[in-house]
């Protein structure tokens, strides 16, 4: 589509083809500078704007609250009779700031196309001529957030041409343009390219609180307006791990309105000549409640109380109901609420009020918005999900969660005066299963795999081990306790593991251990293992078999001697998968498992990849006390957005294949640096995976051993310091924590 054709389309969409007749009685508006600063005069008298953005006519309630001026976002709309709105506003003593629908660059308009720019100027001239004499008109806004996602500064030359045109055909009303935020380079471009603007208008939400500092830095001493302000924007709020922005409750929004007024707007009144709260109406923008001072049903929210106080100096006689708490399964919106498909969870909405009126409750569940629009552009309404709430008219309800996906639970509580409190919780639905709490190892949900080898240290590679010192091991254990871990996994029954067990007992550390017994290769898997270049000699295999038998005996002895510390035993790590370099025949593994189970009181398991359990695990599952599963989405090409879901798919598939045996995840993790994974490896991804799989594990009563406690520099290719094998730790090799454990 050409720029000219796009312009015509934009104007049609915005209703530019409609005609109108308006009263011919303009009232002159000007900006003057007095002893106390800039001031707006209307018909020669000081005029204090008590404003809000409004599209549909709700003027009577607006005026009853103390409002006297509204702003729009287009001079014409197919949905709004603008002449009628102006007439009604004038009848009620309300002024209107009219926005000329200048096409933004993000809509595809090319401000290098001189013909299209000239055509737009003439179309906007027609609009100015149509409305210039209406007595409700206060000033012109030339475009809305033209700097949003823009790159061509010539847009400001075009804005200046429109401002000059307005001054020629309408000398009674000043002209401004409304920009998103207040970036230095944008201000500089506007001041240089659009000197005919009478003042600048700024639109800011959370960043509004930075405005005084910004103005001081720029030494900005000119008059300006705030033509949009209100709650914190969805782009400024914290998000759940899956990217859903957390919305403030209606009461938290009211608090933000009051803070913004008292901390920002009042101190700037020497230059601030007016402000318009956003938004007196309702709109879908990520949610149906984010910005609206009204709900879809037309109810007024608590921010309206604040505006009444700002505009009149008095609080309403009866305040709007106030949100105290909204929980789903006992958790709030900031707690990354993950639930299981098909399960039922309680929801509770706690609301306070200053009267004894009965509150009317309602609940909704909607799919999470997948909108990518910016700048307040149109987003379609999202229908609610039916049949998932057992009561929609009470303070408490139960949610039987729908199929897998991202959703949001909305709660409303309204009084008899049409005032409403509202809040919502984003939640993620995952598949899963629910085990008995008794299936948790030592009652722990999140545990960690621990080896403790630092730079220059390593387990036995055939020429003996270089173990960490006991003081280093003690430091590690105390760090793990500090970070909340009470259950760790060890991988062998050697000297290093003995040190760990002794130190836990000697220092009475609140740590319990799943002891590992290492099984070396008893078969040569050189045809299946990618890094075995040649067959393992028979003599070595025979020696390994003897070593494995000795390892089993050592492990049994440790489990018996440290039965106050060792709570489970794992017999072999990834010794059965088809790609392992230490393959052991299944019948031998079963024999080892039977030997250990017969000799100790603790439960016994075997750690293998999820695929092996699904395909070949039935015989071994019949021998163990619980199944030990490994899952690594990032090794299988998955990005973090798929991390939890892919792990859950793996674990659910194991459960379906082997439904009669409890399960624990003995390894699940995410590398923070990896030459093999590129951008998929990061601290942020690891932190997200840790938080999400912890939520899922708590719901399912599944113990998760996160891999691993510390980075392990001894692993992998010595020539590749960025190799993934070295960087799975929740803490760096120097023992400082990564983001998953709360580092900055």
User: What Cα–Cα distance (Å) separates residue 29 from each residue in 42, 172, 207, 277, 452?
Assistant: 4, 6, 30, 21, 75
Domain boundary among 322, 348, 363: 322
- The answer for 66, left when phi > 0, alpha when psi is -120 to 50, beta otherwise, is left
On average, the pLDDT of the chain sits at: 94
Do 588 and 451 lie in one domain? The reply is: yes
Nearest-CA neighbor of 136 among 202, 59, 61?
59
Do 201 and 244 lie in one domain? The reply is: yes
Question: What is the per-residue pLDDT across 690-716, written as a single tens digit (0 to 9) for each?
Answer: 999 999 999 999 999 999 999 999 998
Question: What is the per-residue pLDDT across 494-529, written as a single tens digit (0 to 9) for each?
Answer: 999 999 999 999 999 999 999 999 999 999 999 999
Share of the chain above pLDDT 70, in %: 97
Domain boundary among 430, 463, 480: 430
CATH no. for residue 572?
3.20.20.80
User: Could you give the CA distance from residue 55 to residue 660 in angstroms, rounded to a whole number?
Assistant: 61
Do 542 and 510 lie in one domain? The reply is: yes
Question: What is the per-residue pLDDT across 528-551, written as a single tens digit (0 to 9) for each?
Answer: 999 999 999 999 999 999 999 999
- Which pLDDT does position 13 carry in this prediction? 44
Contact 276, 97 (CB under 8 A): yes
Nearest-CA neighbor of 704 among 668, 652, 655?
668
Do 529 and 655 lie in one domain? The reply is: yes
CATH no. for residue 390?
2.60.40.10
3-state secondary structure of 338: strand
Partners of residue 640 on adjacent β-strands: none
The arithmetic mean of pLDDT across residues 665-694, rounded, is 97
Do 409 and 497 lie in one domain? The reply is: no
Do 441 and 412 lie in one domain? The reply is: no
Do 62 and 32 lie in one domain? The reply is: yes
Nearest-CA neighbor of 42 among 79, 96, 6?
96
Do 352 and 391 lie in one domain? The reply is: yes
Entry field: residues in the chain = 744
Do 585 and 607 lie in one domain? The reply is: yes
Residue 629: phi and psi, rounded to 5, are -115, 145
Do 371 and 258 lie in one domain? The reply is: no
Residues 6+ apart with CB under 8 A from 635: 724
Do 469 and 393 lie in one domain? The reply is: no
Q: Which domain holds residue 397?
A: 323-430
Q: Is the pLDDT of residue 24 over 80?
A: no
Contact 515, 568 (CB under 8 A): yes
pTM of the model: 0.89
User: Could you give the CA distance from residue 433 to residue 430 in angstroms, rounded to a whole number?
Assistant: 10
Q: Is the pLDDT of residue 614 over 70?
A: yes
User: Could you give the CA distance from residue 21 to residue 472 in angstroms, rounded to a whole number?
Assistant: 85
The arithmetic mean of pLDDT across residues 451-459, rounded, is 91
User: What Cα–Cα distance (Å) separates residue 159 from each residue in 140, 177, 190, 205?
Assistant: 12, 8, 9, 24
What is the secondary structure of 577-629 as a DSSP string? Answer: STT-SS---HHHHHHHHHHHHHH-SS-EEEEEEHHHHHHH-HHHHTTSSSEEE
Contact 212, 268 (CB under 8 A): yes
Do 505 and 650 lie in one domain? The reply is: yes
User: Could you give the CA distance from residue 289 to residue 245 in angstroms, rounded to a whole number?
Assistant: 13
Contacts 24+ apart (CB under 8 A), 737-742: 737/483, 738/672, 738/683, 738/686, 738/687, 739/683, 739/684, 739/686, 739/687, 740/683, 740/686, 740/687, 740/690, 740/691, 741/483
Q: In the chain, how many domains are there? A: 3
User: Could you give the CA distance from residue 522 to residue 517 in angstroms, rounded to a whole number?
Assistant: 15
Domain boundary among 377, 412, 430: 430
Question: SS3 for 127-162, per residue?
Answer: HHHHHCCCCCEEEEEEEECCCCCCCCCHHHHHHHHH
């Amino acid at each position: 589509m050409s720029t000219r054709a796009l312009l015509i389309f934009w104007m049609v969409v915005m209703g530019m083809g409609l005609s109108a007749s308006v009263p011919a009685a303009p009232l002159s508006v000007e900006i003057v500078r007095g002893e106390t600063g800039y001031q707006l005069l209307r018909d020669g008298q000081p005029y204090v704007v008590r404003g809000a953005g409004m599209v549909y006519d709700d003027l009577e309630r607006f005026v009853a609250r103390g409002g006297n001026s509204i702003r729009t976002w287009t001079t014409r709309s197919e949905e709004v009779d603008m002449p009628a709105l102006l007439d009604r506003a004038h009848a009620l003593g309300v002024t209107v700031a009219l926005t000329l629908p200048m096409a933004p660059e993000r809509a595809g308009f090319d401000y290098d196309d001189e013909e299209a720019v000239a055509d737009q100027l003439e179309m906007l001239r027609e609009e100015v001529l149509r409305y210039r004499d209406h007595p409700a008109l206060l000033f012109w806004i030339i475009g809305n957030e033209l700097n949003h996602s823009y790159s061509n500064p010539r847009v400001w030359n075009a804005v200046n041409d429109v401002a000059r045109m307005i001054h020629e055909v309408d000398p009674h009303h000043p002209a401004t343009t409304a920009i998103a935020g207040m970036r230095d380079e944008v201000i500089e471009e506007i001041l240089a390219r659009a000197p005919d603007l009478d003042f600048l208008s700024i639109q800011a939400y959370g960043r509004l609180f930075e405005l005084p500092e910004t103005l001081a830095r720029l030494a900005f001493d000119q008059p300006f307006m705030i033509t949009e302000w209100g709650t914190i924007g969805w782009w400024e709020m914290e998000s759940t791990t899956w990217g859903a922005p957390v919305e403030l409750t209606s009461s938290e929004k009211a608090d933000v309105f009051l803070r913004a007024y008292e901390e920002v707007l009042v101190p700037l009144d020497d230059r601030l000549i007016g402000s318009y709260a956003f938004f007196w109406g309702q709109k879908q923008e990520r949610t149906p409640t984010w910005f609206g001072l009204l709900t879809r049903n037309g109810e007024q929210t608590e921010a309206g109380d604040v505006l009444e106080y700002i505009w009149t100096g008095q609080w309403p006689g009866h305040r709007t109901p106030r949100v105290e708490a909204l929980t789903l399964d006992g958790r709030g919106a900031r707690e990354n609420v993950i639930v299981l498909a098909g399960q039922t969870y309680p929801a509770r909405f706690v609301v306070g009020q200053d009267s004894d009126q009965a509150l009317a409750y309602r609940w909704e569940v909607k799919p999470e918005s997948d909108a990518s629009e910016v700048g307040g552009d149109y987003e379609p309404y999202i229908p609610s999900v039916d049949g998932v709430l057992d009561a929609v008219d009470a303070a408490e309800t139960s949610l039987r969660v729908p199929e897998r996906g991202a959703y949001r639970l909305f709660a409303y509580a309204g009084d008899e005066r049409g005032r409403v409190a509202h809040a919502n919780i984003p939640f993620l639905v995952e598949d899963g299963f629910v085990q008995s709490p008794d299936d948790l190892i030592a009652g722990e949900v999140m545990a960690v795999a621990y080896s403790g080898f630092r730079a220059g240290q390593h387990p036995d590679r055939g020429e003996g081990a270089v173990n960490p010192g006991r003081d280093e091991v003690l430091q590690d254990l105390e760090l793990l306790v500090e970070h909340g871990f009470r259950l760790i996994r060890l991988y062998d029954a050697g000297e290093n593991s003995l040190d760990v067990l002794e130190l836990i007992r000697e220092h009475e550390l609140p740590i319990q251990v799943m002891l590992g017994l290492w099984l070396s290769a008893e078969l040569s898997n050189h045809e299946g293992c990618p890094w075995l270049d040649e067959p393992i000699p028979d003599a070595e295999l025979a020696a390994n078999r003897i070593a494995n038998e000795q390892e089993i005996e050592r492990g049994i002895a440790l489990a018996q001697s440290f039965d106050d510390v060792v709570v489970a035993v794992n017999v072999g790590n990834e010794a059965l998968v088809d790609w392992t370099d230490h393959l052991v025949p299944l019948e031998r593994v079963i024999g080892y498992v039977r030997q250990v189970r017969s000799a100790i009181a603790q439960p016994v398991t075997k750690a293998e990849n999820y695929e092996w359990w699904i395909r070949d695990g039935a015989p071994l599952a019949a021998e163990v006390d619980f199944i030990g599963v490994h899952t690594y989405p990032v090794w299988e090409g998955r990005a973090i957005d798929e991390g939890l879901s892919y792990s859950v798919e793996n674990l659910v598939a194991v459960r379906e294949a082997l439904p009669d045996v409890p399960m624990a995840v003995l390894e699940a993790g995410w590398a923070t640096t990896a030459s093999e994974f590129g951008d998929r490896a990061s601290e942020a991804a690891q932190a997200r995976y840790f938080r999400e799989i912890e939520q899922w594990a708590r719901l399912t009563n599944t113990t998760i051993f996160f891999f691993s406690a510390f980075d392990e520099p001894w692993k992998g290719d010595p020539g590749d310091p960025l190799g993934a094998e070295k960087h799975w730790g929740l803490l760096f090799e120097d023992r400082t924590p990564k983001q998953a454990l709360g580092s900055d």
